[in-house]
Structure 1
Amino acid sequence: MTTLSPDTAIDHHLDTKGLICPEPVMLLHKTIRKADAGDIIEILATDPATTRDIPNFCRHLGHTLVHKETLDTTPTYRYLVKKKSA
């Protein structure tokens, strides 16, 4: 994981709060397909399975998990994924 800078531009926002496995990863996959190489996708999720699924998604498909954190509310998990270059 790379360090997140305050000026990191987020190109796509994906709110999957309330959805359960496999929906958050399926929606991420759909968003990644539409994104350009190097785009940053922010994912918000409440399903604890995403703490395993999103890092595995990135590792298997070659995308970069730039940042992950747990926010206090609900809890909500926040991820920043950078789409790999073509």
Structure 2
Amino acid sequence: MTDLTPDAVLDASGLNCPEPVMMLHQHVRDLAAGGLLKVIATDPSTRRDIPKFCVFLGHDLVEQQEQAGTYLYWIRKNAG
């Protein structure tokens, strides 16, 4: 099983597109290479936007879950 203990948490609950991804960009920038960021969001558009963000910037979307209208993502920052 993958260890999903994050190095940092971004709670973007209640925010709508594009705010969660804008905040994600800043949080990933501040994270050390290889660090794991947990994102908590309530905007359904993050299901599309966050995976695209990871592909575009080369980060690893380790895990993605949905729990009662809350979307959870674990993103590992690329080493570059």
TM bucket normalised to smaller: over 0.9
Q: Distance in 2 between matches of 1:67 and 1:18?
A: 21
Instruction: Choose from 15, 18, 21 the match for 1:19.
Output: 15
Gaps of 5+ in 2: none
Q: Distance in 2 between matches of 1:27 and 1:12?
A: 13
| Identity rate, percent | 46
2:73 counterpart of 1:79: yes
Instruction: Give the C-alpha shift of residue 48 in structure 1.
Output: 0.3
Asked if the contact 2:4–2:74 (Cα under 8 Å) also holds between the matched residues in 1, the reply is: no
Instruction: Give the C-alpha shift of residue 14 in structure 1.
Output: 0.4
Task: Please report the RMSD computed on the Cα atoms of aligned residues, expressed in angstroms.
Answer: 1.0
1:42 match: 38
Q: TM-score, normalised by structure 2?
A: 0.95
Q: Distance in 1 between matches of 2:58 and 2:48?
A: 16
Letter in 2 for 1:71: Q
The runs of at least 4 aligned residues of structure 1 exceeding 6 Å deviation read none
Q: TM-score, normalised by structure 1?
A: 0.89
